[in-house]
A and B are shown apart, each in its own frame.
Chain A
Amino acid sequence: MTIADIIRILNAQIICGEDHLDTELHSACGADMMSDVLAFVKDQSVLLTGLVNPQVVRTADMMDMRCIVFVRGKEPDDMVVDLAKEREIVLLKTPLRMFTACGLLYESGLRGGCEK
């Protein structure tokens, strides 16, 4: 699945990172608790979240994630967008809620990546 596919599936808008639409992504994680992302995530490339503070971008950066999807129509401010551009992380936003967004991506073949 590419970032362009995610935009289509989630009816999402791109906030920044237009140059990376072809980036291939294989797994994702949905969380509003960044502590959990840091504790449990392994090799996921997409983060779905309802939080829009800079720590979301920093967390994704530490985990080598390539794309953040803000759910529930959340809109990050300029500081967050600038940080994402600097770290080359694609930002998307979708009006969908977390459960629906995760479900649609799962249905389309994206997986959690850390099933034990």
Chain B
Amino acid sequence: MEAIKVHYDVPGDDFTRAGEASGMLKRYLKKIGFAPDVIRKVSIAMYEAEINMVIHAHGGEIDGEITPEKISVTLRDQGPGIPDVDLAMQEGYSTAPDNVRSLGFGAGMGLPNIKKYTDEMKIETVLGKGTTVYFSVNAQ
């Protein structure tokens, strides 16, 4: 079976809409019939990454690839990049501004959470150019 491909554009100017793409993919995976725990892992990881994209990088693009074996998601932004990926992966480390914290985010759990809920995760980042976050969740 050929992989199903999905694409979402994430606007960077409206935090209230952050998470729309994750919601759409979640409902789509449910419709296809993946197991609830697989769907939840993908949803949480993508939601965290999508929120990051809006907070730090003025939005970006998300591409998903779905096969019966695994769900892969790639999030690309043209934001400032991550100066120290190891530091950013530490639980509790955050550079989110105060207004984002007042909305319930910025606890420094985003990237660690993506790692926790996925089977594979990669970050490629170039300062001043942008960041690509890739992750996949095995479905079987």
**Residues of A near any B CB (own CB < 8 A):** 31-36, 38-39, 49, 51, 53-56, 58-59, 61-64, 79, 87
Contacts and interface: CB of A to CB of B under 8 A. Distances in A.
Nearest to A53: B103
Interface residues of B, number: 26
A39 B109 contact: yes
B133 to A, nearest CB: 16
Contacts of A79: 16
A61 B15 CA distance: 17
Contacts of A61: 23, 26
B115 to A, nearest CB: 11
Contact of A53 (B36, B44, B104): B104
Q: Is the interface of A mostly helix, strand, loop or mixed?
A: helix
Contacts, number: 70
Contacts of A63: 40, 44
28 contacts: A32-B104, A33-B104, A33-B105, A34-B103, A35-B108, A35-B110, A35-B113, A36-B109, A38-B44, A38-B47, A38-B48, A38-B113, A39-B116, A49-B104, A53-B16, A53-B104, A55-B51, A56-B104, A58-B18, A58-B22, A59-B19, A59-B47, A61-B26, A62-B23, A62-B40, A63-B40, A63-B44, A87-B23
A56 B16 CA distance: 10
B59 interface: no
B40 A64 contact: yes
Q: Is the interface of B mostly helix, strand, loop or mixed?
A: helix
B127 interface: no
Interface string B96-140: 000000011111111011001000000000000000000000000
Interface string B38-59: 0010011001100100000000
A83 to B, nearest CB: 9
A38 B110 CA distance: 9
B35 to A, nearest CB: 12
Contacts of B36: 64
Contact of B105 (A35, A49, A54, A87): A35
